[in-house]
Chain A
């Protein structure tokens, strides 16, 4: 039996595909922001001191801080689909704003997941943290990527076309993304103690859900303003 997907979902998928193709060609997130994040992980021990036990303790937290701060850059990056001409064409085709922003956020989720996955071995190699509880990363990585993508896309739409986009966007996202940082860090830590970290998992799911809900519900109002 063939099930036809509803039009907005198809449109969102098309937008996500376009965004991913653009990223595959330009490689801004993977070839520029990821090495930048790796440099941040490399520089931190020079600032706090190359004390092996201390670095082993700091490693996981530093990783999530870098994911948050540099992930915001990934989520707020400007692509060809942000150009006024492209947006005008999308509006003329009658594409709902929620489908456009949802597609963009879905593509950003995939890119952020790749960004997190690439940075993880760098952090493990540099900091050599305790690896107990790491199976929980299977939940923490995608949920954080999805949550950050939703908040980042929302902030990107809020600051669209502004001169201070590159600075105002992160200011809007970072404080709101704190529960993601907290949830991801504690999920892995508590998992390492042999407990099932339901509370932190619930926090990550809730914040990610709220982020996506805000993005999809606020899309129309934001579309009018851009």
Chain B
């Protein structure tokens, strides 16, 4: 099974390369200089994190409705990616914050709510890991997946509700985006590139989950004695273990 597929990696590679070139060629910010170029990675990672957690919420709700295994796998895979990209967002923001704000971390509502979202979904992943029964795991994590998604709009709106250090929304707001249009074009290109890259990872993780499930089923079948061990299951020649 090809985990990554063919078209998505090629598209992701081309788009990421284009995004990188765009980020280098885009005009520097008048005040922040080249530090501002981190925005071309920071904003897309945050967007992908939102997208992944939103997907977890939708897949969880669909699992509760349809009870289909693929929705549980989708919720889990997108939550893992969401945690990864939220972590990246925090690290990149912190990296940018030190030279521009003068601190690695500050008690800004956007930063705090993002960190809390990170911990909520870490809890989600811990819950999945701690529940051994697949059905119970799917049920419990689906309920949490639906509840936890409330965090996403809270994080996004935090800069509007509490005016603090972090700048308010520049693009996802009513009216014309308050950003140079060349910068906006590069930013959007990077958003698309990271989205395609995330889709590629999601696809790979989903396929890996299917393989993990198949392996778990095969192992469980190996350990189960047919008819309480009275009957010996037919085995392929050369693979007899008890001879």
Report which A residues bind B (CB closer than 8 A).
Answer: 154, 158-159, 162-164, 168, 171-172, 174-176, 178-179, 210, 214, 218, 221-222, 224-226
Complex interface: stretch among B19-27, B135-143, B221-229: B135-143
**With a CB–CB cut-off of 8 A, which chain A residues contact B3?**
none
Also in contact, A159 and B146, with CB within 8 A (given A172-B120, A221-B139, A225-B140): no
Q: Does B106 contact A (CB under 8 A)?
A: no
* Closest CB pairs A-B (n = 5): A225-B139, A175-B116, A225-B136, A218-B143, A171-B123
Q: Which of chain B's residues has its CB closest to A222's CB?
A: B143
Q: Which of chain B's residues has its CB closest to A169's CB?
A: B123
Q: Choose one: A172, A179, A224, A225; the contact of B123 (CB below 8 Å).
A: A172
**Shortest Cβ distance from B65 into chain A, in angstroms?**
11
Q: Quick one: CB contact mask for B42-68 with A, threshold 8 Å, 1 for yes?
A: 000000000000000000000010000
**With a CB–CB cut-off of 8 A, which chain A residues contact B130?**
159, 162-164, 168
Report which B residues bind A (CB closer than 8 A).
Answer: 64, 112-113, 116-117, 119-120, 122-123, 126-127, 130-131, 135-136, 139-140, 142-144, 146-148, 150-151, 154
**With a CB–CB cut-off of 8 A, which chain A residues contact B146?**
214, 218
**Shortest Cβ distance from A54 into chain B, in angstroms?**
17
**Shortest Cβ distance from B130 into chain A, in angstroms?**
5
Give the distance in Å from the alpha carbon of A35 to the alpha carbon of B140 in the complex: 33
Q: Choose one: A154, A162, A178, A224; the contact of B147 (CB below 8 Å).
A: A154
Give the distance in Å from the alpha carbon of A70 to the alpha carbon of B115 in the complex: 21
Give the distance in Å from the alpha carbon of A181 to the alpha carbon of B64 in the complex: 31
Give the distance in Å from the alpha carbon of A162 to the alpha carbon of B117 in the complex: 23
Instruction: List 25 A–B pairs whose Cβ atoms lie within 8 Å, in order of A's numbering.
Output: A154-B147, A158-B127, A158-B143, A158-B144, A159-B127, A159-B130, A162-B131, A163-B130, A164-B130, A172-B123, A172-B127, A172-B144, A174-B119, A175-B117, A175-B151, A176-B120, A176-B151, A178-B112, A178-B116, A214-B147, A218-B143, A224-B139, A225-B136, A225-B140, A226-B136
Give the distance in Å from the alpha carbon of A163 to the alpha carbon of B112 in the complex: 30
Per DSSP, are chain B's interface residues mostly helix, strand or loop, or mixed?
helix
**Shortest Cβ distance from B95 into chain A, in angstroms?**
23
**With a CB–CB cut-off of 8 A, which chain A residues contact B135?**
225
B120 touches A158 (CB 8 A): no
A171 touches B139 (CB 8 A): no
13 further contact pairs, Cβ within 8 A, besides A154-B147, A172-B123, A222-B140: A158-B140, A159-B127, A159-B130, A162-B130, A168-B126, A171-B119, A175-B120, A175-B151, A178-B113, A214-B146, A221-B139, A225-B135, A225-B136
**Shortest Cβ distance from B114 into chain A, in angstroms?**
11
B136 touches A176 (CB 8 A): no
Give the distance in Å from the alpha carbon of A168 to the alpha carbon of B143 in the complex: 15
Give the distance in Å from the alpha carbon of A218 to the alpha carbon of B148 in the complex: 13
Give the distance in Å from the alpha carbon of A86 to the alpha carbon of B116 in the complex: 35
Q: Which of chain A's residues has its CB closest to B144's CB?
A: A158
**Shortest Cβ distance from A159 into chain B, in angstroms?**
7
**With a CB–CB cut-off of 8 A, which chain B residues contact A176?**
120, 147-148, 151
**Shortest Cβ distance from B115 into chain A, in angstroms?**
8
**With a CB–CB cut-off of 8 A, which chain A residues contact B139?**
221-222, 224-225
**Shortest Cβ distance from A221 into chain B, in angstroms?**
5
Give the distance in Å from the alpha carbon of A159 to the alpha carbon of B143 in the complex: 12
Give the distance in Å from the alpha carbon of A154 to the alpha carbon of B150 in the complex: 15
Among B122, B130, B135, which residue has the most Cβ atoms of chain A within 10 A?
B130
